[in-house]
Amino acid sequence: MMIRPNIRGIQIEPASSLGPSGVKVRVSDVESLDLNVKQVEFRGVIPLERDLCFGEIVTSLFDCTGGRLLPIQCDFPEFQEEETSAFQMTYDIGEIGGSLEFQEWTCIGLISPMFINGPFEDTRNLMVVTRLVDLDLEYEIRHGQVISHDGVFWTGIKKFKLDLFDDGYLESQIRLHKFHFTSINLAVLTAAKCGHIKTQTIEVIQEKMDNWLDEADSLDKIYDGYRNSQERSEKYSRQLDQALQKAKNKTLRPSRFLTELKQRCSPAQATELIQFCFDVIMTNQTITAPALELIDNIAKTTRIDTKELEKIRDDRIIKVGTGSDFDIPAEQFLGINSYWKPHKKIKHLESEFHKWNSRLNLVRDEDTRENIQRMLNMIGEALRKYR
C-alpha cells in the first residue's frame, strides 16, 4: 500500500432553484479563437428577496472528475481569489434592485487551459460555479468554497469537459507529502537501527516536520487536500506516532519506503533525506553498522554519488557529540569495501587521513577538533592493520 495523504474535496452549496424565469448558465466554445477557449454565459431573471445596492457575479472553477470537487488554480493574479491562487472571475453588474435580468446570453467570463492549472492532467470533467453576491454584505470564498454566505443570493452550476496538459498541482503536492512521510519512517528506522531511539532524536524528527509544515503554510494559497494547517499537522504527527509504534514492535521495514524513493525522488530530495538520517544518527549518539547500511541503501536507491555521500557523512561527523559511540568496524565506517585488495584499502585510508589531518589544522573549536582527532585515530589503527 502506498503512503498518500487523504485528498479531501471542497464542499459547495447546492444550485439555486431555477424559478419560473428559467435562469441558466452555459459553457460554450469561443468560435473566433482556435485555442480551446470556453466562455461562461448567463441568461434569465433572478427574483431577489430584497433590494441590492451593488452586485457582481463571481465564478469559481472545479475539477469534478471522480466525484470530488478540487479547485482549479490560476497563475495570473487578476483571475485568482484574493487570498488563494484558486481561479476566480468577477462580472460587475452595478446597482440593481428587485430582480436581475439578462434577456440574452451574456458572457460573464472566459476559461482557457493556457492560464489554468488543474489538480491532474488529462481530459477532465470541470464544473463552473457562478454566484450572485451583494458587495454591501460580507462574503468570503476560499478555494471556491463559500466560507461566509451572508452576501451570496444565488448559485448556478454547469459541468463541461476540458483537456488539461500541464502537470497537475495536486500531483506535485501528493508526491511531496509522500516524500515527507517516507522520510519520517526512514528516519525513525535509522534511529531504531542504532539500537534505541532517544527523546532528543524524536525532537530532531519533529523539528524537521515543523520545517516542512511551515513551508506548506507559506504555500497555503495552493490547495493540497487539507482544510487547514492544523489538519495537515495532525496528519504528519500521526505518521510519526505510527512509525515509532512500528519501530517499537519491530515491524517497521525499509523495503516499501525504498520502493517509494525509487519511483519518484529528486536528487535534491535524496540529499535532504540522507542529511536528515545522518542528523538522526548523530543525535542518537550511537553509530552502528545497520544504520549506515540503511543510509547506503537509500543512497543506492536514489543514485546519490559516492563522493556526495562521503561529503554529507563528513559534514555530520564533525558536528557529532564528543561522547558519541562509534559501534561499527572502522573499515565500514570509512567506506572500505571488503573485496578491495590491500593496496587499494591502504590508498583509500591514506587519502582519508590526509583529508582529516588538513581539516584539523583549520578548525579552532575544541569539540570539532576532538571529533577530527578521533577520525584520525580510527584511520591510523586501520592503516596499521593493512601495512
Range of the domain at 359: 329-387
Task: Tell which of 151, 166, 181 closes a domain.
Answer: 166
CA-atom Rg of the chain in angstroms? 29
Do 125 and 158 fall within a single domain?
yes
Q: Is residue 8 assigned to a domain?
A: no
Amino acid at 346: I
Do 29 and 62 fall within a single domain?
yes
Which domain CATH number covers 64?
Answer: 2.60.40
What confidence tens digit (pLDDT) does each residue in 209-234 have? 999 998 887 766 778 877 678 888 99
Which domain CATH number covers 299?
Answer: 1.10.3680
Mean pLDDT of the chain: 84
pLDDT at position 327: 57
pLDDT above 70 coverage of the chain, percent? 88
- H/E stretch holding 27 reads strand 24-29
Do 314 and 179 fall within a single domain?
yes
Decide: residue 68, CB within 10 A, 0-12 exposed, 13-18 middle, 19+ buried. Answer: middle
Considering its fold, how many domains does the chain have in total?
Answer: 3
Q: Is residue 18 assigned to a domain?
A: no
Q: Mean pLDDT, 10 residues at a time, over the chain (387 residues)?
A: 53 69 82 78 77 82 91 92 92 78 89 89 91 84 86 88 84 89 96 89 95 82 78 93 95 93 90 93 79 92 88 75 56 75 87 85 80 83 83
Do 174 and 302 fall within a single domain?
yes
Decide: residue 303, CB within 10 A, 0-12 exposed, 13-18 middle, 19+ buried. Answer: exposed
- The residue whose grid cell reads 464544473 is 127
Do 148 and 174 fall within a single domain?
no
CA–CA distance, 38 with 40 (Å, rounded to integer) = 7
What confidence tens digit (pLDDT) does each residue in 236-295 have? 999 999 999 999 999 999 999 999 998 889 999 999 999 999 999 888 777 788 888 899
Are residues 138 and 102 in contact, defined by beta-carbon separation less than 8 angstroms?
no
Do 205 and 160 fall within a single domain?
no
Q: Is residue 217 assigned to a domain?
A: yes
* pTM to 2 decimal places: 0.74
Decide: residue 299, CB within 10 A, 0-12 exposed, 13-18 middle, 19+ buried. Answer: buried
Do 119 and 231 fall within a single domain?
no
Q: Is residue 16 assigned to a domain?
A: no
Do 175 and 319 fall within a single domain?
yes
